[in-house]
Amino acid sequence: DAKTTQPPSMDCAEGRAANLPCNHSTISGNEYVYWYRQIHSQGPQYIIHGLKNNETNEMASLIITEDRKSSTLILPHATLRDTAVYYCIGIGTASKLTFGTGTRLQVTL
Amino acid sequence: GAVVSQHPSWVICKSGTSVKIECRSLDFQATTMFWYRQFPKQSLMLMATSNEGSKATYEQGVEKDKFLINHASLTLSTLTVTSAHPEDSSFYICSARSGTSGSAKNIQYFGAGTRLSVL
């Protein structure tokens, strides 16, 4: 699995875009970048994943740099309910998810 | 997204008793299920991986005789904490993977977790 590095915490004002960075400089060509989040006392929630192209779904957008060494998860209009710990994980499709410490996002009024 | 149901959500038991936690994939077949444990203020730690009809593969340091895992069908896996002790008190979370090896849609979906308190 690729080693990922994320800032321990970030703040974002409600209604603004939240941009969460992740470094994965050792990611290999067949490893995807997955993003999950965990709201307090709940199981992790799948957000999005991608290989090399940018991806967008109803929850977020994932921007992956051309060299694939880093990516950014974008929540376009953060709400208080987006307050959570966000995990960036680089793995192959048949591998198991292992969680680091993630980024604790605090959305404020 | 796919739904994974975990039951019970909360359980209190006496020291020395056994506790069974169920994990079901409700709208997809899960050939592989995972069990995680999370202590307060810590990240999730993978305990074991189970494939339907096969013995579970445990991570290093996890006692297989203490944490019994059964994955008898494509939609159900159970974790039994045997002879529970207070140090087993934790948040246990199951996960089920959709798709098959090599699929780009190979996503792990998680249950809501079970909070176990051993008195």
pLDDT in tens, B23-49: 999 988 888 999 999 999 999 999 999
User: Which residues of chain A have a CB within 8 Å of the CB of B93?
Assistant: 43-44
Rg of chain A taking only CA atoms, in angstroms = 13
| pLDDT tens-digit series, residues A51-62 | 999 999 999 999
| pLDDT tens-digit series, residues A6-22 | 999 999 999 999 999 99
> Is B113 near chain A, with CB under 8 Å?
yes
Do A44 and B93 form a contact (C-beta atoms < 8 A)? Answer: yes
Q: What pLDDT, on the 0 to 100 scale, is given for residue B100?
A: 57
Residue length of chain B: 119
Do A73 and A59 form a contact (C-beta atoms < 8 A)? Answer: no
Q: Give Cβ neighbours of residue B104 (< 8 Å, ≥ 6 apart).
A: A32, A51, A93
Tokens read off for A18? 């939240």
Q: What pLDDT, on the 0 to 100 scale, is given for residue B44?
A: 95
Place of tokens 């998810």: A97
Task: Calculate the average pLDDT of chain A.
Answer: 94
Instruction: Report the chain B residue with the minimal C-alpha distance to residue A51.
Output: B104
Question: Three-state DSSP class for B112?
Answer: coil
Q: What is the mean pLDDT of residues A65-73?
A: 95
